[in-house]
Amino acid sequence: MVNQAYVFQPKSRFRRLINRFKTLLHMEKKLIKKRIMSSRAIQQVNDATIVLRHFIELSAKLLPFFNELSKKDKLLPRELEDRKKIIDVFHGYKFDTSTSLILMNSSILDSIQTAFEEIEQRIPGQPSKADEAMQRFYDEHDQLVHNWIHTDNN
């Protein structure tokens, strides 16, 4: 069962994240010219990084659950509802996967997008690349968590 707090609240966070990413990409273009960041720009980058971290952690909770649901031949009514909510969350969130490369030097958003698409397309009982995509996501996520712990300790 998916905690509803993770399903319903993120939409507004995603919109803020998208806006911050757009701002960040705009700022990056300016930085190439100036090579100097104002304190306001640094704060925006920090805010965008925090929101991205929250999205990555949300994905780390939703994608494994979604993957397990996709393997079942028949879903209970509650599972069908949870599956639809997860799909709505990920479909409602449009992002440029290069954002994680810019902010975290990681292709985690690409891994999230690929895993979601593979899981969504899975037909129970048929061969699927979903588990391979999930493993790439797990590897990328584990590396990021390790980096975050190292950074937070400094």
Shortest CA distance to 42 belongs to which of 31, 29, 56, 57?
31
Residues of the chain with pLDDT under 50: 1-8
Domain count of the fold of the chain? 1
Q: Structure pTM? A: 0.73
Contact at 8 Å (CB) between 97 and 107? Answer: yes
- Position 29 scores a pLDDT of 66
How far apart CA 56 and CA 126 sit, in angstroms, is: 28
Shortest CA distance to 26 belongs to which of 44, 14, 11, 39?
44
pLDDT digits (tens, 9 = 90+) for 51-77: 899 999 999 999 999 999 999 999 999
How far apart CA 70 and CA 65 sit, in angstroms, is: 9
Domain that holds residue 70: 4-153
